[in-house]
Every structure is written in structure tokens, then in C-alpha cells.
Structure 1
């Protein structure tokens, strides 16, 4: 693909929180042009996205359409890139059809993230579709796309935070250590669908999915070793704050940790090494990941913050798409057009 030309694209699941953030980013992008936006649920008629998100009135009047499979031939003639912000099983069903039609797919669901089909079955409760090509796992700062992959799996929000914090220092950790990841997410991580347990009046700070969250095997896959992962639901709208503990190898100093982070992220504009434990307000509405570390004896303590809907979903998808078509990773992401939700 040429970075000089306009690239027509479609967003599936544009009615959801991650989907509308992605739609808004693409709406403001200088190269990608959204020509189709589809809802993640069955709707009887087309309507402007501002009908669901009034804050976009006068700024984005993209029409949100119901999807029908008989639209695929027409879609394949009109767009080149498709972003899926759909439920996992919906993406698993639709993605192979889009690939067969010659479209490039960036999938924000968990349908293709795990390399082990048995782990996928255990985590998601359905069989992972078999594709003829390997699916790259798109942790953007550690991924090199060639630009000919038919599908790219966009990582989950929790694994993105943990992976960016731990991967630069893996060689400095004790061989036997199992990192502990204690993370809190805002309620937008549960999606837009109404549910009592994510109703803002019902939410209190609470652990959930202890030792069984589907992001645990993805997190372990991302960093290359087992982890203990305890997610929490917080009574705030968006963002993830993770505190991570791991034992360092003998003779590893704070300077060595600092050097490892600096060497890894010197050329990565969206990872910021900060001098104090980050606050969510530093990253919410941005495509950035802020990382702080402290060495206490032989223990490494990491504090990492991301926006779950941007760096943990929509912004990372666009960062990968930029790389795919040969654009700088910051294209359409800086300065940020601002968050929707």
C-alpha cells in the first residue's frame, strides 16, 4: 500500500466504546478514510453515530449501518482495510470471510490473540478458527509488520500494560520468578452493554476473575513466562493502572533496569518513562503508556498506566495500521483528537 493515497476502511462494532474511539481517530486521520461503519448489534435502520454519542454532533456524522452478509461483495469493492471491534465470537466468524474477500483485517477482539488453540478454547469457550496464515500478535512497540499480513490481532488492554512494563526487563529477572500483576480497570472495559454488575451505582473496587481471567494466558504469552494476574474493577470510567512485582536476578541494580527501559523505548513515542508513579489522568484520552519503576532490595516494582480504550484498544489498532501501510506510528494520533466516551 502507498502512504500517499487515501485508504478506504470500515469499522465493525462502531457503536461500542472501543469502536467509537477508533471511528473518531480514523475520522481525523489524514490517510485512512472511513466509508462504512457497522454496529456490533442488530439494528433495524441506519442512523448517524451522533444519535448514540451526541458529543459527536456537528463533528462526525458517520452513518452507522446494520450489517448483513450480503453486503460483503460490495464492501470488498469499496474498502481495503477493516477494523473489528466486535465480540470475540462475532470476530471469529466474520474475519475469515473478510480475508477471503481480499480485505486486510485488524481485530480488536480476542479471537486470534492466543497462539495455542487449546488455551483459546479454555479462555473463550469456542474453537479458534484455523487460518492459512500465521496471525501476528500486535503489541505495537514489539511488532514488525511486513505489510502483507491478512490479519493482525490487536492485544487486550491488560496484556498491553503488563507487556510494555515487563518485556524490556525480562533478561534482568530471576529465572524462577513469577511476576504478580495487580491491575485496576475502569468500567468502560466491560463494554457498552447494560449490566447490573457494571452499573456505575453498583460498582465498588473489587477483584474479579481471580486466577481465571482470559487475559492471563495472553499476558503469559506476551511476556514469555507465567504470571499471577488479579484484575479489579474500579468505580471510574476509563483507564488501567497496574502494579507489578517481580524478583530481580542477583547483582541487578536500579541503573541496569533504567538502562534496559531507556534502550528499549528510546525510539518509541507512546511509551513514557516517568519519575513518579503515574496517575490515570496523565494517560486518559491519550495513546500513551506511562511506566515507573522502583528497585527495593532484589524486588522490582512497576507502576504502569494506560487508557484502556486507546492504548489498550483503538489507538494501538491505528498504530499498527500506520505501520502496516508505511506511515509513522504517530500519524493521526498526535496531537490527539481527544476521547469520545
Structure 2
């Protein structure tokens, strides 16, 4: 694939934090071309730099209002759509785009959960019924073949937890219920102003204890029930999770090391590190950093990702790279973050 054979793309929800990061990555990608960036239908068209002045002179993409009468025009010009929209909005729009032959990478939770009843309980609306199964795109564990019409991009917390746990789940005791204790920056709550997520109002607080909608997604991704406690921290971006696990009897350190090595030897965006990672070392990058320490039959894992990149925009693009048989890191290592 050459630069002249670029794939035309559209981003929906481009005015939000994950959306603008995706817009910026696509703008700089050698094989994708950003044809459209859509915001709310209530907004007038304006350059993206009107919302994000740091892009002035670097990206002149026009942020347009989306109206459904644009669908035929979009279908003629765009091959791929990325949806960084609220869950119900994606549930409504994605099938329409798929019906027009557009490949959809959906960053919402509309299609992540396999069980419709669990989805209803987690998100409060019925999951659309589609004719094809929607693959769950945890990038390091996905094998897209380039024919899937719709791909569900995992949530940020589930990405961190699943990348930490999945390589060693065969070493866990049968009755182990992983405990996932995770802290996220305020950007995870989105761009819309809300008092309880205002930077000046946020301290460090648990929320959604044993009831967060990402809990069933984590359980689905790792293949067993989990206890998940998210926290909101007074920093802008990133997730740091500490995970506690019970190992089978007589699991040796070499078995843990070998499991991670076998899983991630050819996965350049996952880094096994020698000391507990900090958010600072992953913020603004597409990497997931993992550290572990065994204490008798307990395993403690510390994992850090950027919630807007590896937990959203960068993973979506990593999956798109895979879909079109490009190296997984294409367009991800040379471009800094917007925020």
C-alpha cells in the first residue's frame, strides 16, 4: 500500500477527547486520509483548531455537523468510519453505516458485550441485533481478516486489565476472582463540563464500586468474574491499575515470565517493565506497560496506559492497521498527543 493508495476515513465525535486524538492520528497516518470530521448536529461548521487551538497551523480539518441526509454522500467517498460517540448514538448510527458498505470501528460500548441481557443492565438500552457477530477488538488478541463490517473497540479500563491478566490466566487458581483497582484521569469522563469531573473539584475517589459498566466487559475479556473498583484522580490522562490474583499451587516465577514473553514477544506496543510503571511514562503514547511481582501464591500486577490512546484512539487505529494488513505500529509512534 502506497501513500497514493490512501484509505478515506471519517471520524464521528471528533470534537471529544478521544475523537480529536483519533483525528490527529489519522491526519498524520501514511495510509489513511481523513475525509470528514463530524461533531454535534447542534454545532456550526468550524475548524478543529477553534476547539483545540494547539492544532492551529498543524491541522486544518473542518469539524462539520452530522445530518443523516449526508449518508449517501459519505458512502460514495469513505471506506472507514470511526465512532467516538455516546453509546446509544453509536448503536443507532453503526448499522446505518454498515448497510452502506462502510467499515466501522466503534469506540463506544454499544457492541462490546456478547450477552444482550448483560448489555441492557450495563448500558440501559437494548443492544441492536445484527446479522453478523461483532468481534471484540482487543488488538493484541485480535485476528481481523479484513472482511468484518463492524469492530467493537474495547474500553480503557478493560484494555488495561485484560492485557495484564490474559497472558497468565491459565496459571490462576480455579477459584481466583481478580481484584482490579484502577485510577483514571478526568479526561476519561469526556469533554462535556460536569461539576463532579471538573479538575478543581476532583480529589481521589472511588466510584461505580462493583457496579461500573466496565466490570462485565473485563469479566468477558479475561474469562472469569472480577472485582473492579475504579477511581477518579485529579490528573488529566492515563490509567494506572493494580491487580491482585491467586495463583495455582507451585506456580514458578519462570512460568509467569514465559507466559508473558510468549504472548507479547511480537507485540511492540506492550512493554514488560522492571519496576512499577507510572502514568507519566505512558501518557501521550500508544504503549501499555506491565510490571508484576509474585508473593508466594499471590501475583500483583501493575499496568499503565493512556486512556485516550491505548485505551481508545490508538487501539482503534491499531485495529485498523491490522484490518488492512499494515504493521500494528503504523502511524502511532511518531505522532504526539493533542492534549
C-alpha distance in 1 between matches for 2:60 and 2:202: 33
Work out whether 1:52 is the aligned partner of 2:63: no
1:262 corresponds to = 261
Superposed CA offset, 1:146-188 (max 9, x none): 1000000000000000000000000001011000000000000
Contact persistence 1:187–1:233 (CA under 8 A): yes
Match of 1:280 in 2: 279
Structure-2 separation of matches of 1:143 and 1:324:
10
Aligned partner (choices 322, 337, 340) of residue 338 of structure 2: 340
CA deviation profile, 1:24-74 (whole Å, cap 9, x unmatched): 0000000100010000x2334210000000000000010000000000000
1:176 aligns with 2:175: yes
Contact kept? 2:3, 2:30, Cα under 8 Å = no
- TM-score by length of structure 1 reads 0.98
Question: 1:171 and 1:44, CA in 2 relative to 1: closer, same or farther beyond 3 A?
Answer: closer
The whole-number CA distance in structure 1 between the counterparts of 2:131 and 2:194 is: 38
Q: 1:66 matched to which residue of 2?
A: 65
Report the Cα distance in structure 2 between the residues aligned to 1:21 and 1:334, rounded to whole angstroms.
Answer: 13
Q: Residue 6 of structure 1 contacts residue 31 of structure 1 at CA under 8 Å; is this kept in 2?
A: yes
CA contact (8 A) 1:3 1:326 kept: no
- Which residue is 1:289 aligned to? 288
After superposition, give the CA deviation of every residue in 1:273-305 in whole Å (9 maximum; x if it has no partner).
Answer: 000000111100000000000000100000000
- In the alignment, the residues of structure 1 paired with residue 283 and residue 27 of structure 2 have an alpha-carbon distance, to the nearest angstrom, of 20
Q: Does 1:150 align with 2:156?
A: no
Contact 1:3–1:325 under 8 Å retained in 2: no
**Is the 2:2–2:31 contact (alpha carbons within 8 Å) kept by the matching residues of 1?**
no
Q: Which sections of structure 2, spanning at least 5 residues, go unmatched? A: none
Contact 2:321 2:328 in 1 (8 A): yes
Provide the residue aligned with 1:312 in structure 2: 311
Question: Per the alignment, in what secondary structure is the counterpart of residue 217 of structure 1?
Answer: helix
Q: 1:298 to 1:44 in 2, by over 3 A?
A: closer
**1:214 maps to which residue?**
213
Q: Aligned residue for 1:85?
A: 84
Distance 1:85 1:238 in 2: 17
Which sections of structure 1, spanning at least 5 residues, go unmatched?
Answer: none
What is the match of residue 324 of structure 2? Answer: 325
Give CA deviations for 1:97-116 in whole Å, capped at 9, x if unaligned.
00011100000000000000
Q: Does 1:9 align with 2:3?
A: no
How far off is 1:253 after superposition? 1.3
Is the contact between residue 188 and residue 308 of structure 2 (CA under 8 Å) also seen in structure 1?
Answer: yes
Q: 2:182–2:239: 8 Å Cα contact kept in structure 1? A: yes
Task: Give the drift of 1:2.
Answer: 8.8
**1:188-267 → structure 2 map (5 Å cutoff):** 188-267=187-266
Cα distance change, pair 201–44 in 1 and its aligned pair in 2 (3 A): closer
**Bigger Cα displacement from structure 2, 9-18 vs 42-51:** 42-51
Judge conservation of contact 2:41–2:67 (CA < 8 Å) in 1: no
Secondary structure of the 1:19 match is helix
The Cα RMSD (Å) is 1.1
Per-residue CA deviations over 1:85-131 (Å, capped at 9, x if unaligned) read: 00000000000000011100000000000000000000000000011
Distance 1:2 1:67 in 2: 30
